[in-house]
Amino acid sequence: MIVMLAFVIGGLYAAGLYMMLRRSITKLIIGLSLLSHASNLLIFTTGGLVPARPPIIPDGATEIIKPFADPVPQALVLTAIVISFGVTAFALVLLHRTYLTIGTDDLDDLSKTDSAKPETSD
């Protein structure tokens, strides 16, 4: 199961980075969310994927018997999912605003702040 998930996570990272390198902003944001999914899944996997082994010390024992399913990464991943949800929502709104203002979703048209001086002032 862990090997399979490792491939899934690797695939997600690869797909996310590939999407981020595309020219379209829409694909950039898909890439970002794939990337955060990959990280979330990675943390989830580190908790140990052992079925039916709750992290409870059995009667009479003083230490927990390994392997057990660690609940902490699940709590962490929950936080991370919520954060990435909020961030993705913001990125989508930003994309929409950018599309409305600039009228393009091509990243190559967004090079104004890099080279030429921007015309805006505060």
Partner 1 sequence: MNTILILPLITPLMVAAVSFLLWRHRTWQKWLSVVGACLSLAWACLLFERVRDGEILIMQAGGWAAPFGISLVADTLAAVMVLLTATMNLAVTIYALRSIDERRAAFGFYPVLQILMVGVTGAFLTGDLFNLYVWFEVMLMSSFVLLALGGERAQLEGGIKYVTINLLSSAIFLAAIGFLYSVTGTLNMADLALKLGTLPASLTAPLSVLFLIAFGVKAALFPLFFWLPASYHTAPVAVSAVFAGLLTKVGVYALIRTFTLIFAFTDVDMNSMLLTLAGLTMIMGGLGALAQTDARRMLSFLIIAHIGVAVMGLGLGTTRALAGTIFYLIEDVIVLTNLFLIIGIMGGVCGTFEMRRMGGLYRTHPMLGALFLIPAWSLSGVPPFSGFFAKLALVQAGLEVEGYTVVALSLIVGILTLTVMMRLWAEAFWKAPHLVASDIDATQGKIQVGKMLLAPVCALSLMSIGLGIWAETVFGVALTAAVQMSDADVYVEAVLGAVR
Q: Does 76 bind partner 1 (CB under 8 A)?
A: yes
3-state SS track over 64-87: CCCCCCCCHHHHHHHHHHHHHHHH
- Number of residues forming the site for partner 1 (CB under 8 A): 41
Q: Which residues bind partner 1 (CB under 8 A)?
A: 20, 25, 28, 32, 35-36, 38-40, 42-43, 45-46, 70, 72-73, 76, 79-80, 83, 86-87, 90-91, 94-95, 97-98, 101-102, 107, 110, 112-114, 117-122
